[in-house]
Structure formats: C-alpha cells, structure tokens
Amino acid sequence: MKKILSITIAVMSACTLSCKGGETLDITPRPREITLGSGSFNVKGAGFNYDASLEERTLNAVFKLADDISAACGKTCSVAAATGVDASTDIGRLKGIFLLKDESLAPENYVIETTKKGIKITAPDHNGFFYAIQTLRQILPVGNYAGKSAAGKWAVPCGTISDGPRFAYRGMHMDPCRHFWSVEETKKYIDVMALYKLNRLHWHLTEDQGWRIEIKKYPELTEIGAFRNGTMIGRDFSSNDGIRYGGFYTQEQIKEVVAYAWEKGITVIPEIDLPGHMVAALTTYPQLGCTGGPYEVWTLWGVSEDVLCVGKESTFAFLEGVLDEMCELFPSEYIHIGGDECPKVRWEKCPLCQARIKALGLKSDEKGTKEQKLQNYVTSRIQKYLEGKGRKIIGWDEILEGELAPGATVMSWRGADGGIEAANRGFDVIMTPNSHMYFDYYQSENGVEDGEPLGIGGFVSTEKVYSFDPMDKIAPEMQKHILGVQANLWTEYIATPEHLEYMLLPRMLALSEVQWCTPENRDFARFSAGLKSHQEKILELLGYNFRK
Ligand code: ACM
Ligand code: ZN
C-alpha cells in the first residue's frame, strides 16, 4: 500500500512538473513533448562529446554553441569526440553533454534527455541535431546568441524533450527581383529561418523587373536584364524615379548562399519564373518574345502581357541553357518553374504560337482554352527536361489549369482552393495561400492609416498566420499530398532590409508553429506570451527589426 502510494505521488509530481515545465519553457516552435523532472544540469564549463559519425556541418554547429556558451558564461566548454558510448548508452552513465546519432528516429527529429549530471542528445541526421541545438539555445539565457558575457542561469532542467516536425517542407520565400538583397542580407534572412527550424528557402531569381542570377552561357542576362531605368514611386503607376536600379548574384555568390543555408539545414530552391514574368529576359533577347520587342526591364509593378514566345524552338533552347546552369548551382530536389500570371494575349495573335497549337492539335474545351493548353505543354516539356536531370518541378497553382502531368508539385497561392484541388487530383502540394501566408500584406487592418509602412494591400496579422490549418477540407486519404507550408514575401513596396525584416517578423515565428507543431500543440495565447517574454528578446539581441 505504502509502495502504491509513493508511486502515485511520483507519477502525480512528474505530471505536475511536466505541465508546469511545458508552460515555463518558452520554445518556438513548441516542441512535441516536454516532460520535466526536478533539478537541472549546469552547462557552464560542461564538456561536449560528439559521435564520430556526425557530419562536419553538425560539428560546426556544436563548436559554435560551445564557443557561444563559453563566451557568455565566462567558463570554457570543451568539445571532443565521444569514446565508448553510443545512442543506446544509458543516460545515467553520461557526464557532460553528448551528441549521439540514432538512426531509428524519424528524419529531423531529436530527443534531449537531461539529468543533473549530463545531457544526451540523439538525432538521426544533421537537421535533428541542429534543431536540438536551437532548442537548447532557447532554454539557455538569451545572451548565448550574442556570444558575449551575459548573466543568467546556465541550466537545462532535468527531463526529456522529444521533438520533430509535422511537415517535411517548411519554407520561406524571398524576392530579390523587385528589390535586391545583398548576400549578407540574404544570410541574415537565412539565419532567422534556421533559428525557427524552417528548412526551405524559395529564392525567386527572375522577374519582369530584374534578372538576378548569373548565367555564363548568357552573360547579357545580367549585363542588361539585371538593371532597370527606374522604379515607380509609391503607388503611382504613372511615375518613375528615373534612377537606374539593379544587381545580381554571381555564380560564386550563389554557391556561397547555398552552402551557407545547407550548414543550417536549409535547402535553397531556385525559381525561374516562366513563361510569364520574363520581361527582363525579353529586354536582353527580344527575339524570345512574340512581337520581337523592343522591350524594357519593367519599372512598374504588375503583370506584363509580354511573355516568352513558346512557338519558337530557340525559346526552349534558351530555357534549357539556363536550367542546365541552375541545376549545377542548386542541388535541390526541386526546381521552381513559376507558371503564374501568364497572360495569353500575345500567344493568341502570334503566328508561331498558333502554329505550335495547331501542330500539337490543342483545342479549347471545358478544361481550358487552347492557349492555356499551350502553357500546359510548356510546363510538361520543362518538367520532362528537368526530370531527365533527376529533378522535380514546383509551379504556382496556375499550372493546374487545363492539364498537368503527374509528378509536378503545386504551390497554392490564390487561396488554398488550388491546393485542395491539386491534392484531390493526386498532386503534391505546398500551401502558401495569400489569405494567410502573404507577408507583403499589411500587419494591421487599416494599413498606412494605422501607421504601417506603405504596402501592396491586404491584411495578414500574426494571429491570422497562426490560425492557418493546412489540412482544412483535405480528405484524410489525401493529406499525404500536403508536403508543407510556406510564406511568401514579395518586395515591390519593400526597399530596405529594415522594412523586409519588419514584414517577416514576427509573422515567420507564427508560420514556424504552423509548419512544425501538431494541431494539439498550437495555442495562440501561449505563443503570444512566449513571443513577448522571450522571442522578441532574441530577435532584438540579434539585431532584427520586427513589428512589436
Ligand atoms: C504570385 O504571387 N504571383 C505567385
Ligand atoms: Zn509566340
């Protein structure tokens, strides 16, 4: 009886601490399971021990953590290879901090077990360890991020954190075309994504207003297409500041960004937007258009009626030349081929495009016009070309209009309906609905009148982002097609890094919980409290401009 009573008390106290611990550890995105016991492990001066099988990029993150903690708490943490232990070693035998590979865990998952004597971190891969480190950083005093002397309790509470993502694709989009972002600014964007466990950067590299990627086969793309002769002023479409504006990334810089992101567990997915949004390329090579131009890199925002002429074989040769170099630069499984907002007015009048329609036997019917089907032909031809190189395509939800070949992934941006339809038709989907995931929209209902900087319109608050349910109206058997969620940040009205960060944050933190947490683990009140009490301090310390 006495034994039963003491077991009951022990269970009750573990539960109380678990619930209490869950409430007091402000970790974003919220881990799947936190169970706290009593006591803590002091990391000040603790030794880090790593599995010899860990990747070099994982070790880099471990060394950086040890260095930052050492600098912040004033006592050196050593780092050394672990000997005679592995993931199956009982935690009771571990003194210090151990990072041990456990391939039985699901991808990107991790477990942190803490006793008064040590911490055992297990994960199956780089991302799992990297995320365990991010979680530890959020538990420790904020000063650990700065790597300089900081006060605070350098303790990790005893217990277990068992964690992993809900979605495999956790993306954030970046638009360096409407306004250009330097390599350093891009890295700072990647840094904050990594902190909150995002793993895909969708890099939109070509547009009407500027071509941003060096292509060695077509050097004129960046000599001519990367610069425009002005930018419209405010929201006045009849205006132009007359100031030459532009920039591009050299291939060396692209490699640098890809490698930088990879260290932080982020895959960069490049986008070449085709067959619309191509005025910068048309300006460079007018023969790629239906009318032959002349064209001018756009100085206004909006959608141009001038698109690639897909009646010409030379257009496909050009696209293949660009894609060849993109595939060399980006090891990503996916290449984004755009496909959005492609007006068909030029194709309707172009003898070459019409000849192609005739040769292919395309006819208008209830599924779509013959010009829409011509876009399907372009999508499928580019898809086949990329599949030949072992890559898959992502396209904006317009690629779903008419017919779409199996194997394409649909990025649903005009609301979630395109994504729902795509999943029902058996396509993989990434949800980026403008109703919830457009970070170029205002963060306040009345926009400028509420003191917000000038923007494109709309209203997407942090709470609205947080409320998004990617599985809404998706039948259970189709849910496997929802690969994940991404937010898009178009930069027509965003010209400075301060403004860019202001639009990104804190909405990206809400996004991180939509991507990472199970529905049961999402709670906006808990998230907001943690944002105020903890996350804002981290963002401030790291020098981000965010909306308070
Ligand atoms: C888009 O916002 N045009 C994809
Ligand atoms: Zn044409």
State pLDDT tens for residues 210-264.
999 999 999 999 999 999 999 999 999 999 999 999 999 999 999 999 999 999 9
Residue 350 has pLDDT above 70, yes or no: yes
CB 430 within 8 A of CB 511: no
Going from the N-terminus, what domains does the chain have, and what CATH number goes with each?
6-163 (3.30.379.10), 169-405+495-541 (3.20.20.80)
For residue 77, give the DSSP letter: P
Residue 318 has pLDDT above 90, yes or no: yes
Could you report the per-residue pLDDT of 80-98, keeping only the tens digit for each?
999 999 999 999 999 999 9
CB 167 within 8 A of CB 483: yes
Pocket of ligand 1 contains residue 301 by CB under 6 Å:
no
Average pLDDT over residues 464-484: 98
Residue 342 has pLDDT above 50, yes or no: yes
**3-state secondary structure at position 285:** coil
User: What tokens appear for 268 in the block?
Assistant: 């960069």
Pocket of ligand 1 contains residue 396 by CB under 6 Å:
yes
Return the closest-CA partner of residue 492 out of 175, 172, 173, 178: 178
Q: What's the gap in Å between 413 CA and the centre of ligand 1?
A: 6
For residue 106, give the DSSP letter: P
Pocket of ligand 1 contains residue 413 by CB under 6 Å:
yes
How many CB atoms are closer than 10 A to CB 194? Answer: 22
pLDDT (0 to 100) of residue 150: 81
Residue 215 Rama label (left phi>0; alpha psi -120 to 50; beta): beta
6 pLDDT band (50/70/90 cuts)? very low
Residue reference for tokens 């901090």: 97
Residue 18 has pLDDT above 70, yes or no: no
Residues contacting 351, CB < 8 A, separation 6+: 311
Ligand 1, atom 2, lies closest to the CA of 413
Range list of H helices, 112-250: 126-139, 183-195, 220-223
Distance CA 469, CA 458 (A): 19
Residues contacting 91, CB < 8 A, separation 6+: 113, 115, 118, 120
Q: What's the gap in Å between 391 CA and the centre of ligand 1?
A: 22
Buried b (16+ CB within 10 A) or exposed e, 487-526: bbbbbbbbeebebbbbbbbbbbbbbbbbbbbeeebbeeeb
Q: How far is CA 52 from CA 43, 85, 458, in A?
A: 22, 11, 51
Distance CA 62, CA 58 (A): 6
CB 430 within 8 A of CB 483: yes
Could you report the per-residue pLDDT of 490-544, keeping only the tens digit for each?
999 999 999 999 999 999 999 999 999 999 999 999 999 999 999 999 999 999 9
Atom of ligand 1 nearest to the CA of 488: 2
**387 exposure class (CB count in 10 Å sphere: 0-12, 13-18, 19+):** middle
pLDDT (0 to 100) of residue 223: 98
User: What tokens appear for 446 in the block?
Assistant: 């009345």
pLDDT (0 to 100) of residue 24: 67
CB 462 within 8 A of CB 507: yes
User: What tokens appear for 10 in the block?
Assistant: 């022990």
Could you report the per-residue pLDDT of 127-153, keeping only the tens digit for each?
999 999 999 999 999 999 998 788 888
pLDDT > 70 fraction of the chain, expressed in percent and rounded: 96
Q: Ligand 1 pocket: which of 173, 304, 341 to mutate (most atoms <8 Å of CB)?
A: 341
Ligand 1, atom 3, lies closest to the CA of 340
Q: Ligand 1 pocket: which of 174, 397, 490 to mutate (most atoms <8 Å of CB)?
A: 490
Atom of ligand 1 nearest to the CA of 438: 2
Average pLDDT over residues 5-19: 37
Q: What is the mean pLDDT of the chain?
A: 95
Return the closest-CA partner of residue 130 out of 285, 284, 309, 266: 266
Q: What's the gap in Å between 309 CA and the centre of ligand 2?
A: 4
Q: Before 331, cis peptide (omega within 30)?
A: no
Residue 226 Rama label (left phi>0; alpha psi -120 to 50; beta): alpha
Pocket of ligand 1 contains residue 415 by CB under 6 Å:
no
Pocket of ligand 1 contains residue 340 by CB under 6 Å:
yes
Residue 445 has pLDDT above 90, yes or no: yes
**Dihedral Cα 459, 463, 465, 466, nearest 10 deg:** -170
Residue 14 has pLDDT above 80, yes or no: no
Q: How many residues does the chain have?
A: 548
CB 113 within 8 A of CB 160: yes
* DSSP string over 127-171: HHHHHHHHHHHHHS-GGGGTTS---S--EEEEEEEEE--S-SEEE
Residue 1 has pLDDT above 50, yes or no: no
CB 37 within 8 A of CB 159: yes
pLDDT (0 to 100) of residue 148: 79
Q: What's the gap in Å between 155 CA and the centre of ligand 1?
A: 46
pLDDT (0 to 100) of residue 147: 82
pTM over 0.85? The answer is yes
What is the side-by-side strand order in the sheet with 155-163? 33-42, 155-163, 110-114, 118-123, 96-101, 48-50, 79-81
8 pLDDT band (50/70/90 cuts)? very low
User: What tokens appear for 181 in the block?
Assistant: 């972002």
In one-letter notation, the amino acid at residue 183 is V
Q: What's the gap in Å between 225 CA and the centre of ligand 2?
A: 20
Residue 4 has pLDDT above 60, yes or no: no
